[in-house]
Structure 1
Amino acid sequence: MKLIVAIAFIGIIGALFAAGLFMLKRGGKTPGSKPNMARALTVRIGLSVALFLFILVSYLMGWIQPTGLPVGH
């Protein structure tokens, strides 16, 4: 479970980094930079939503349990 979440976070950060590079590449004046940046941001949003849904389904299926914080210690 931890490995899947870590891989998803790495993918999200990588897509965000790629979008930043596409934005900064030649000041964003190249014709192909905007579609690449939009695609990278779309991938980031898709990965974020997929990670959220995976965590939600994992909780509902009982694969993960909330531990909570100890109260009164």
Structure 2
Amino acid sequence: MYWTPEQGEDLFTILVDGNTVAFIEIEEIIKKKWLFKKIKNHKITSLSTCSVKDFTKGLSKTNQIKLEVALDLSNREFERKR
């Protein structure tokens, strides 16, 4: 639902199913190999979840609408796969 790029890490808010929202922080680790070659690795540094009901508390009207759209799309996809 949301992606917040930050310096050295990315924050994601993901609708897991119709009842759960996950918050994931992924750190980008850059290692230098040889002279100019860089290798990028990623590591999950934080993972937490909450219910959709709890997530909805305090959301702005715009973000409540975004959540409703995401829930609707999720439900449609679930019904399509049945």
What TM-score, normalized to structure 2?
Answer: 0.35
What TM-score, normalized to structure 1?
Answer: 0.38
Give the structure with the higher percent helix: 1
Structure with greater contact order relative to length (CA < 8 Å, sep ≥ 6)? 1
